[in-house]
Amino acid sequence: MNKKCIRVIALALLPLLLSGCALQSTGAMAPTVKNGMLALSDWDFSEQGNISLDGDWAFYWNALLLPGKFDGNTPTGYYALPCGWAKYKELSLPAHGAATYRLVVKTNAATGLYSIFIPNVYTDYALWMNGELLHACGSFAQKKSVYLHPQAYDFYYAGSELEIVLQVKNDALVYGGGVGQSIRLGTAEQIHKEYQTYAAVDLSLISICMFVGCFFLVLYHYKKNNRELVWISVLCFAVSLRNLLSNTTLMMQAFPGLPFWLGSRLVMLTIPFIIISMLFYTRGLYKDETPQGPFYVLLALNALYIFTVIALSPTIYSAVFYPYLLTVGAASILGCYVSVKAVMRCEKESIFFLSGMMILTLGALMDSLVYISVLPTRYMLSAALFGFIVIQVILLSKRYSEAFRRTELLSADLQASLDTVMKTETAYMSAQMKPHFLYNALSTIAECCETDPHEAGNLIMSLSKYLRQTLDYDNLSGIVPLKKELELVHAYTSIERARFENIEIVFDIPDPLPSIQIPPLTLQPLVENAIKHGLRKKREGGRVVVSVKQQGNSMVFTVEDNGVGILDEAVKNLAVLPNGSVSIGLYNINTRLIRLYGQGLNIKSKTSAGTSVSFQIPYREDDCHVSCDCGRR
- Distance, in Å, from the CA atom of 388 to the CA atom of 370, rounded to the nearest integer, reads 20
Scored b (16 or more CB within 10 A) or e, 357-379 reads: bbbbbbbbbbbbebbebebbbbb
Query: Which pLDDT value is given to residue 27?
Result: 41
Of all helices (H) and strands (E), which one includes residue 549?
Answer: strand 542-551
CATH superfamily assigned to domain 19-193: Galactose-binding domain-like (2.60.120.260)
β-strands 112-118, 625-626 pairing: unpaired
CA 146 to chain centre: 35
- Which residues, listed in sequence order, are joined to residue 611 by a DSSP beta bridge? 561, 605
Q: Does 97 or 439 have the greater pLDDT score?
A: 97
| Three-class DSSP category at 106 | strand
Phi/psi region, residue 68 (left: phi>0; alpha: psi -120 to 50; beta: rest), is left
- Per-residue pLDDT tens over the stretch 492-504: 888 888 888 888 9
Neighbour count for residue 422 (Cβ, 10 Å):
19
- Distance, in Å, from the CA atom of 344 to the CA atom of 499, rounded to the nearest integer, reads 79
Q: Which candidate, 383, 377, 381, places its Cα nearest to that of 365?
A: 381
Q: Is the pLDDT of residue 421 over 70?
A: no
Considering the chain, what percentage of its residues have pLDDT values greater than 70? 80
CB 168 within 8 A of CB 121: yes
Q: Does 13 or 304 have the greater pLDDT score?
A: 304
CA 498 to chain centre: 67
- Per-residue pLDDT tens over the stretch 570-621: 666 655 555 554 456 777 788 888 888 888 888 888 888 889 999 999 887 6
Please, which residues have CB within 8 angstroms of residue 422's CB and are 6 or more apart in sequence?
477, 592, 595
| Three-class DSSP category at 78 | strand
Q: In what order do the strands lie in the sheet with 178-179?
A: 83-84, 178-179, 121-122
The Cβ-side half-sphere exposure at 610, using a 13 Å CA radius, reads: 12
CB 390 within 8 A of CB 12: yes
Please, which residues have CB within 8 angstroms of residue 167's CB and are 6 or more apart in sequence?
64, 65, 98, 99, 100, 101, 125, 126, 127, 128, 140
Please, which residues have CB within 8 angstroms of residue 253's CB and are 6 or more apart in sequence?
none
Angle between helices 350-371 and 3-20 (to 10 degrees): 10
- Distance, in Å, from the CA atom of 233 to the CA atom of 217, rounded to the nearest integer, reads 6
Largest Cα–Cα distance in the chain?
144
Please, which residues have CB within 8 angstroms of residue 574's CB and are 6 or more apart in sequence?
583, 586, 587, 590, 600, 601, 603
Of all helices (H) and strands (E), which one includes residue 291?
Answer: none
| Three-class DSSP category at 548 | strand
- Distance, in Å, from the CA atom of 589 to the CA atom of 426, rounded to the nearest integer, reads 9
Query: Which pLDDT value is given to residue 417?
Result: 63
CB 520 within 8 A of CB 485: yes
Q: What is the mean pLDDT of the chain?
A: 82
Query: Which pLDDT value is given to residue 485?
Result: 87
Q: Is the pLDDT of residue 116 over 90?
A: yes
Confidence of residue 424 (pLDDT cuts 50, 70, 90): low
Confidence of residue 379 (pLDDT cuts 50, 70, 90): low
* Residue 488 burial by Cβ neighbours in a 10 Å radius (0-12, 13-18, 19+): buried
Q: Is the pLDDT of residue 99 over 50?
A: yes
Q: Does 115 or 394 have the greater pLDDT score?
A: 115
Lowest mean pLDDT among 27-31, 127-131, 381-385: 27-31
Q: Is the pLDDT of residue 24 over 50?
A: no
Q: Is the pLDDT of residue 541 over 80?
A: yes
Of all helices (H) and strands (E), which one includes residue 184?
Answer: strand 184-187
CA 308 to chain centre: 33
Q: What is the DSSP string of 113-128?
A: EEEEEE--EESEEEEE
Query: Which pLDDT value is given to residue 582?
Result: 46
CATH 3.40.50.460 fits 409-626, yes or no: no
- Distance, in Å, from the CA atom of 411 to the CA atom of 421, rounded to the nearest integer, reads 15
Q: Does 112 or 501 have the greater pLDDT score?
A: 112
Q: Where are the domains of the chain?
A: 19-193, 206-407, 409-626
- Distance, in Å, from the CA atom of 375 to the CA atom of 366, rounded to the nearest integer, reads 8
What would you report as the CA-atom Rg of the chain, rounded to the nearest whole angstrom? 42
Query: Which pLDDT value is given to residue 475?
Result: 54
- Distance, in Å, from the CA atom of 265 to the CA atom of 261, rounded to the nearest integer, reads 6
Lowest mean pLDDT among 192-201, 302-311, 477-486: 477-486
Query: Which pLDDT value is given to residue 633?
Result: 43
- Distance, in Å, from the CA atom of 310 to the CA atom of 559, rounded to the nearest integer, reads 73
CB 516 within 8 A of CB 478: no
Q: Is the pLDDT of residue 377 over 80?
A: no
Please, which residues have CB within 8 angstroms of residue 182's CB and are 6 or more apart in sequence?
22, 23, 52, 53, 54, 82, 119, 376, 377
Q: Is the pLDDT of residue 155 over 60?
A: yes
Phi/psi region, residue 228 (left: phi>0; alpha: psi -120 to 50; beta: rest), is alpha
| Cis ω before 294 (30° cut-off from 0) | no
As a whole number, mean pLDDT of residues 230-259 equals: 89
Q: Where are the alpha helices (DSSP H) in 21-52?
A: 45-48
Query: Which pLDDT value is given to residue 419?
Result: 61
Query: Which pLDDT value is given to residue 430?
Result: 52
Q: Is the pLDDT of residue 632 over 50?
A: no
